[in-house]
Structure 1
Amino acid sequence: MVPDSATPDKSAPESKSDSRTPSKVSREAPCTHCDLPTPYVGENPPHPLFCCNGCRGAYELIQGWGLDSYYDLRDQANGERNRMPEATDKGRFDSFDDPEFLGLSTPKQQSDGLQSAQLAVHGLHCAACAWLIENAAQQTEGWNTARVHLGDHTLRVMFDPATCSLSGIARLLHRLGYELAPITKQPDAHFRKENRRLLTQIAIAGFCAANAMWIAVALYAGDASGVAAEHRLLLRLMGTGLGLIAVAVPGRTFFRGAFAALRTWTPHMDLPVALGLSVGTVTGTVNAISGRGDVYFDSLAVLVFFLLVGRWIQFHQQHRAAKAVDLLLRITPAHANRIAADNTTDWVLVDTLRPDDQIRVAAGESLPADGIIAAGNTTLDRSLLTGESQPVAAQTGDEVSAGTLNLSRSIDVTVRAVGSESRIGRVMQSVESAMAERTPIVQLADAIGGWFVVIVTLLAIAALVIWSGEGWGLAAGHATALLIVACPCALALATPLAIAVSLGRAAKRKILIRDGASLQLLASKGILWFDKTGTLTEGRSRAQVLYGPETALSDAAAVERDCSHPIASAIERECLLQGLTPPDDAELLVVETGGVQGVCEGRQIVVGNIPFLTSKGIVCSAEILAAVDASLQIAATPIVIAVDGVATTVLGLSDPLRQQAAETVATLQRRGWQVGILSGDHPAIVAAVAQQIGIPLELAHGGLLPADKLERVRQPQSMITVMIGDGANDAAALAAADVGIAVRGGAEVSLQAAPIFIASGRLTSIVELIRGSSATSKLIRTTFAVSLSYNLFAVGFALAGWISPLLAAVLMPLSSISVLSLTLAWPTFRSP
């Protein structure tokens, strides 16, 4: 077709008519399948438009498979012709600064002026991608941190909005080959989209590989039966073309990763793979054109196919691991019984609930959302959130929280918050954040993986030089095999995946861990300090009259009626057990450390320990002091009651030991831990408890104030220091220890004071925690050994020339797959 501005060729025959209608003008448009110029007649090109029946058949086959996204991938590979105009591109990324577009990914303001956001990432396939993105953050002004979570392909960023924007981060990652998107309440949608993309690439690579192999068979058969030179050259060129398509279209994902690594000077697994494909492609193409030497088109196509299949398997395994650590789904139900306007109910996904929706929660079910009881009275088990060991009554108008268990009868609840916005959701976020943290051993693995890529690249150059004497083709093949068979991904994947899966399994057993480094520390041996009251003991004291009239007990109960101290509760319970009725005419006047003072029916009542009574000028008789000593001998805390300035009664305050206390201490000691007690209770009582459960007396310290406990924990130690106690009362000591473990209180308070919270309240869970930490440590060492052994043998065999590029492509995914399989099968935090 001649351009309108050109002069017609006068030698051409004249048209019979110059009055051609526009409908018969021949024009050109790209073929729908192959994109080559294709003539058509008419004003607008038909769709679909094909240059030949072969393209029509291929198009119908791809559409039938449901792989029509192939054409989007093809258009992206066509270069500048299909590139999005800069203005449109800019507009697309600017939407990342719009809260309406971001939805759940809208940045949240932090106390230090920074903003944090969590987004989905498309294009992640291994730990090397995490290195690349996190390294890009370190080199970008205003972008403080990036934490990649491979399990669910999400990215948490922390940035300074004054110097950096979310749109700028999205634009930068687009240049590196990764696409950001807002997270949704249906994470499987992201998985399905990424799965579809990978399958499309595999289909294209498989098509090229199958046809290239058939051509290779024809050439090999031709070596035996004879084939014309021109036909041989044609077959070689056709096969090379298929190999080039496989490398350029589905294989371009490796080159994008390699170019991104070069831009940021970050070692990336795709770098040696891209180098290997480049060496094979250049060598094979030169040989095909020259007609001499081997061509690698069949190996290249099959190589890309196997590499992508391995990547797809790894992607599925990571998704399975992500399911294993979906903490919130393990604690709250996935469905709710929503009440419609006509009072009918239907089961819906919890994610679809909105504020002011009404749901019905039957007896025995967990609450799926925070809310207010709209109808019904019941009792609730709130132990996970509040630490209350006993069920509590709840009635219409009371607030209730997701994760609590409805015990008695059905209730209707008006929804206030769902998912991550609920109380339990906020707790789970603090636990899940530990999975993305880079613990010291993870940082070591990342460093080893980075150096490994550099070393492998240098070894490949060495292989090229060593084998160059045997011919360029052979040397290129061995270098390509070495570059492809080495897999640093498993080194970097082993540790974070093991920690993430362990944290998820621990959460299922009601052991909440918000710091992955704690698992690493607990795998070693050290000294473990227990608080006594409420930790080794039940935490529910009983006040027994050891000396004096019981009437003083009712006076003390009356004075302490408005006091919330555990001793006051114990006195009140004992008064009820004895059938005594505390007088109504009583007033609490003074509450101090060590005791209280008040008035009951005109009598002055003082209740407390000996130092407190002495401070009030009350002198204790020899009988009273003897009763105090008797109380200490039976491991009971002595409380003295004085009436009108005369000490008359001695109470023995006893707190029964937990049933598992002695067994837990013995198990920990057998595992190599030193076990001690740090308590504020009387030293004689602490010593008696230590003797009962097998703790050496030199490690049993009583009469300690919170500051004394803190000082003991901070004392320089050559071993790991672990503190186990109440999440509120022992907050300072829990925070100062190498590892703090809270066993009482609610999850919200305890996880602020200590990195680990035993939500079950059982002492045996501490043994589970220690055992699970050791199993996690063994898993990390095992996966490290497997990965290193594989790479040492694989690189050695490649240097020796025993591995072909095709075999290298088959072997390369085995390292990552073995690490993933070992991690999921390893018995971490499972019942022995």
Structure 2
Amino acid sequence: MPPALLSAFVASAPGRTQQLELLVEGVHCANCIRKIETRLSSDPAITRARVNLTLRRLSVEWVGNPDHAEVIGETVRSLGYAIAPYDAGSIGTSQDRTGRELLRCLAIAGFASSNVMMLAWAVWAGQAQDMPASTQAFFNWLSALVAVPALAIAGRPFFRSAFGALRAGRTNIDVPIAAALILATAISMMELIRHGAHVYFDSATMLLFVLLVGRYLDFRVRARSREAIERLAMMRAEHATVLLGDGRTEIVPASAVEPGMQVVVAPGETVPVDGRVTSGQTILDRSAVTGETLPELINPGDEVLAGYLNGPDILHLRAEKTVAQSHLSEILRLVEQAQLQKGRAATLADRVVGIWTPLVHAIALMTLLGWWLVGGADLPTALLYAVTVLIIACPCAIGLAVPAVQVNAIGGLLRRGVLVRSGDALDRLAAIDRVVFDKTGTLTEGRAELVEMPSDPQALRLAAALAGTSRHPLTRALTRKLGMGVAVEGVAETSGAGISGFVDGRAARLGSAEFCGVVATGNDAASEVWVSGETVPPQRFAFVDRTRSDAPEAVGYFRRAGVELSILSGDRRPAVESCAASLGIADHRAGLKPAEKAALLSGWRAEGGRPLMVGDGLNDAPALAAAHVSASFGHGVPATQVAADFVLPAEALSSVVLAHRTAVKAAGIVRQNLGFAAVYNLALIPVAVLGLASPLIAAAAMSASSILVTLNALRGRPPRIGAAS
């Protein structure tokens, strides 16, 4: 693509931060990622550069003019990588093309290696039975006739990548592979022309076949890891039906819908954008977006999200966000960002690869010179030993050890409804030593039942009006009982306290007893909300919020895991004590303001603790941000979802257990993979240096190590629901 076109794909963010996403062809390993990120990070204007190996997506952020995109594009091209603007919709087509090419090459290499191996066996058997030299030469020429074209055609994925890297003045994982294939073929042709006794066409074709098997398996693992993202992308509606001012309807691309437009959703259609219902009553299937398995009855005034599936009736809604700003698009961005970010183990692996590659090249050069100048071997033999070192010491296993596990774990959790917002969140979750729960909406169902309310009609009118402006579980219960109420002006929500505003021109408050000016409150275990106004004295609403059915299981799991348990709640002491007693949690604090929650978590961290905070209310956002790692529910307010590292499916506290078990399991697999990669290299590099392995054996060992690491990474998927204990 001409460089001048890249600036058209730049997205501007607040503060003049520019963002660009590119599809990078030819990225195969951690070394490729390191080279791109290191080169771009040296640009002082660039604040962030990350390459996603699975998606082949480069995300760059910089401060300055959009035209700097041309410099970024030229920098990546100078490294030998082809680029294009990133388009999630075209990834599937590109991947299908890559998969078909690898399969064709694999078939050609398999055909060639099997036939050349049969000819080689005939030569080996003939040498033991005094086969005439002319017959041996005939079989060797037949082998060359099959092997050379097959190597030229089936080796294109490696040759294309290697030559592109060399043209850019760098090396990558495919350079030693291409060198091995070319040198083995060249040495064999030299021996054949000289009527030598040894040719290596069988080794070269089998080497290529084994390498292609490893490359294709790696491709399939990455394709499986993309499935969760692709399924989310497929949930987005491509078109929307817009209601025009004259009453006519028009079908437009969903991306063309702007906030304020009236959208008509027919029965069975997917809601194209986030909005609010203006007319119509229907049942929506929300399972694909929020994890709610039960359909929800939607009425005028209710919020709906892109990706919801409409039921049997027509729905009219007013768009509140564009497709790019929708909840579903945000989930896609969060998942991709999580795969871009790296944990401590991934960073360590990248550093090892950066040091390892030049070290291996130095060892290979020393092997060549040592055997040729000191060991008395001829140049072809010394070259063969050096190539063997390059192949056997390829850092594939080290490069795959961490990202393969991370991608499988994050993708698997997404399929189970758990959204991971950052790549290093799994590392942090695996290391927790304390779990801190909010009470309302976290340990309890968040669907409080109103058991006591005032009889004053004016108090009920104020409460209904103010409750309709909040998403707190207790105010939702009020809304279900009292209805939406009249309009409120000047609404202000004080985190951890309540809501204030003007109803019919008079100030009113809804919230805690202290917020409404009440000093003494009841001593029962019920949760309470107070309402007050200029002419209405403070009056009490009492609620009973049942403990979640899966809360005892989740608490029991963490207790058995040796993790400390705490409850930090802004609710009244009797209500918190009752909940804590039912779950057997000794450490509980009540009546806490958001800053006090955050201070407690910061204190634990300052003492070396690693607390996990689980909450869903607006007053939990500071605590979520202060914790070592955090989780919030999908039904929580937006502030908590922004602060949380994990977004859990609604009505499923047990998903915290699933996430923790997955994180612990993934951390163990990463340690296994890194340990295996270290043992493999330390054990087999000396074997190659001493000339005790052929290129074929080296290729088999290298591919086997990559395949084993990749297959072991597949175990990083979340455990079955029944195994949550």
Q: Give the match's secondary structure for 1:730.
A: helix
| Kept in 2: contact 1:272–1:484 (CA 8 A) | yes
Q: Show CA shifts across 1:241-277 (max 9, x none).
A: 9877777776475466556667888773234434544
- How many residue pairs align between the two structures? 694
Q: Give the match's secondary structure for 1:479.
A: helix
Partner of residue 653, structure 2:
763
Q: CA deviation at 1:221?
A: 8.0
Which residues of structure 1 form unaligned runs of 5+? 1-91, 100-105, 340-347, 577-581
Moved more, 195-204 or 809-818: 195-204
Q: CA deviation at 1:714?
A: 1.0
Letter in 2 for 1:670: R
Whole-Å Cα distance in 1 between the matches of residues 475 and 120 of structure 2? 90
| Kept in 2: contact 1:460–1:480 (CA 8 A) | yes
Letter in 2 for 1:695: I
Residues 213-292 of structure 1 aligned to structure 2 (within 5 Å): 224-227=130-133, 251=155, 254=158, 257=161, 268-277=172-181, 280=184, 283-284=187-188, 287=191
Whole-Å Cα distance in 1 between the matches of residues 475 and 228 of structure 2? 46
Evaluate the alpha carbon distance shift between residue 271 and residue 555 of structure 1 in structure 2; reply closer, same or farther with a 3 A threshold.
same
Partner of residue 772, structure 1:
662
Partner of residue 342, structure 1:
none
| Kept in 2: contact 1:337–1:361 (CA 8 A) | no
Partner of residue 523, structure 2:
632
Q: CA deviation at 1:523?
A: 0.9
Match 1:441 to one of 337, 341, 345: 345
Q: CA deviation at 1:828?
A: 1.6
Evaluate the alpha carbon distance shift between residue 642 and residue 370 of structure 1 in structure 2; reply closer, same or farther with a 3 A threshold.
closer
Match 2:410 to one of 503, 507, 512: 503
Evaluate the alpha carbon distance shift between residue 814 and residue 595 of structure 1 in structure 2; reply closer, same or farther with a 3 A threshold.
closer
**RMSD value over aligned CA atoms?**
5.1
Whole-Å Cα distance in 2 between the matches of residues 793 and 481 of structure 1? 14
Moved more, 211-220 or 676-685: 211-220
| Kept in 2: contact 1:434–1:514 (CA 8 A) | yes
| Kept in 2: contact 1:385–1:747 (CA 8 A) | no
Partner of residue 248, structure 2:
none
Partner of residue 135, structure 1:
38
| Kept in 2: contact 1:530–1:725 (CA 8 A) | yes
Evaluate the alpha carbon distance shift between residue 605 and residue 765 of structure 1 in structure 2; reply closer, same or farther with a 3 A threshold.
closer
Q: CA deviation at 1:374?
A: 9.9
Structure 1 position 154 matched with structure 2 position 57: yes
Letter in 2 for 1:674: E
Q: Give the match's secondary structure for 1:435.
A: helix
Evaluate the alpha carbon distance shift between residue 108 and residue 769 of structure 1 in structure 2; reply closer, same or farther with a 3 A threshold.
same
Q: CA deviation at 1:821?
A: 2.7
| Kept in 1: contact 2:464–2:478 (CA 8 A) | no
Whole-Å Cα distance in 1 between the matches of residues 349 and 719 of structure 2? 23
Match 2:328 to one of 424, 434, 445: 424
Q: Give the match's secondary structure for 2:14.
A: coil
| Kept in 2: contact 1:118–1:183 (CA 8 A) | yes
Partner of residue 298, structure 2:
393
| Kept in 1: contact 2:425–2:645 (CA 8 A) | yes
Q: CA deviation at 1:563?
A: 2.5
| Kept in 2: contact 1:119–1:182 (CA 8 A) | yes
Evaluate the alpha carbon distance shift between residue 827 and residue 247 of structure 1 in structure 2; reply closer, same or farther with a 3 A threshold.
closer
Q: Give the match's secondary structure for 1:563.
A: helix
Evaluate the alpha carbon distance shift between residue 202 and residue 727 of structure 1 in structure 2; reply closer, same or farther with a 3 A threshold.
same
Q: Give the match's secondary structure for 1:729.
A: helix
Whole-Å Cα distance in 1 between the matches of residues 341 and 214 of structure 2? 27
Structure 1 position 516 matched with structure 2 position 423: yes
Letter in 2 for 1:739: V
Q: Give the match's secondary structure for 2:364.
A: helix
| Kept in 2: contact 1:275–1:483 (CA 8 A) | no
Structure 1 position 97 matched with structure 2 position 6: yes
Letter in 1 for 2:429: L
Q: Give the match's secondary structure for 1:703.
A: coil
Q: Give the match's secondary structure for 1:719.
A: coil
Evaluate the alpha carbon distance shift between residue 115 and residue 242 of structure 1 in structure 2; reply closer, same or farther with a 3 A threshold.
farther
Structure 1 position 525 matched with structure 2 position 432: yes
Evaluate the alpha carbon distance shift between residue 218 and residue 411 of structure 1 in structure 2; reply closer, same or farther with a 3 A threshold.
same
| Kept in 2: contact 1:728–1:753 (CA 8 A) | no
Partner of residue 84, structure 1:
none
Match 2:597 to one of 685, 709, 712: 709
Q: Show CA shifts across 1:106-130 (max 9, x none).
A: 2211334343222333333333332
Partner of residue 608, structure 2:
718
Letter in 2 for 1:632: N
| Kept in 1: contact 2:570–2:592 (CA 8 A) | yes
| Kept in 2: contact 1:307–1:813 (CA 8 A) | yes
Letter in 1 for 2:438: D
Q: Show CA shifts across 1:168-200 (max 9, x none).
A: 544444454422234442422212332354456
Evaluate the alpha carbon distance shift between residue 535 and residue 204 of structure 1 in structure 2; reply closer, same or farther with a 3 A threshold.
closer
Evaluate the alpha carbon distance shift between residue 475 and residue 701 of structure 1 in structure 2; reply closer, same or farther with a 3 A threshold.
same
Match 1:120 to one of 2, 13, 23: 23
Partner of residue 357, structure 2:
453
| Kept in 2: contact 1:482–1:798 (CA 8 A) | yes
Evaluate the alpha carbon distance shift between residue 755 and residue 135 of structure 1 in structure 2; reply closer, same or farther with a 3 A threshold.
same
Match 1:178 to one of 66, 76, 81: 81
Q: CA deviation at 1:712?
A: 0.9
Moved more, 803-812 or 742-751: 742-751
Partner of residue 393, structure 2:
486
Q: Give the match's secondary structure for 2:618.
A: coil
| Kept in 2: contact 1:379–1:392 (CA 8 A) | yes
Partner of residue 246, structure 2:
none
Q: CA deviation at 1:807?
A: 2.9
| Kept in 2: contact 1:327–1:432 (CA 8 A) | no
> Which of these two proteins has the greater Rg computed from alpha carbons?
1
Q: Show CA shifts across 1:346-396 (max 9, x none).
A: xx9x99997599886536x7535557879853144669879999945345x
Which residues of structure 2 form unaligned runs of 5+? 243-250
Match 1:695 to one of 567, 585, 594: 585
Q: CA deviation at 1:522?
A: 0.9
| Kept in 2: contact 1:510–1:759 (CA 8 A) | yes
Q: CA deviation at 1:427?
A: 2.9
Whole-Å Cα distance in 1 between the matches of residues 403 and 699 of structure 2? 25
Partner of residue 306, structure 2:
402
Q: Show CA shifts across 1:591-620 (max 9, x none).
A: 9997999999xxx9999877678x68xxx9
Q: CA deviation at 1:162?
A: 4.3
Whole-Å Cα distance in 2 between the matches of residues 351 and 319 of structure 1? 28
Q: CA deviation at 1:131?
A: 2.8
Letter in 2 for 1:443: T
Evaluate the alpha carbon distance shift between residue 146 and residue 573 of structure 1 in structure 2; reply closer, same or farther with a 3 A threshold.
closer
Letter in 2 for 1:758: L
Residues 284-363 of structure 1 aligned to structure 2 (within 5 Å): 284=188, 287=191, 294-326=198-230, 328-329=232-233, 332=235, 361-362=266-267
Moved more, 699-708 or 409-418: 409-418
Residues 43-58 of structure 1 aligned to structure 2 (within 5 Å): none
Q: Give the match's secondary structure for 1:516.
A: coil
Letter in 2 for 1:393: I
Q: Show CA shifts across 1:64-96 (max 9, x none).
A: xxxxxxxxxxxxxxxxxxxxxxxxxxxx52353
Evaluate the alpha carbon distance shift between residue 394 and residue 608 of structure 1 in structure 2; reply closer, same or farther with a 3 A threshold.
closer
Partner of residue 669, structure 1:
559
Evaluate the alpha carbon distance shift between residue 221 and residue 703 of structure 1 in structure 2; reply closer, same or farther with a 3 A threshold.
closer
| Kept in 2: contact 1:727–1:744 (CA 8 A) | no
Q: Give the match's secondary structure for 1:724.
A: strand
| Kept in 2: contact 1:326–1:504 (CA 8 A) | no
Whole-Å Cα distance in 2 between the matches of residues 172 and 590 of structure 1? 49
Whole-Å Cα distance in 2 between the matches of residues 571 and 172 of structure 1? 59
| Kept in 2: contact 1:351–1:418 (CA 8 A) | no
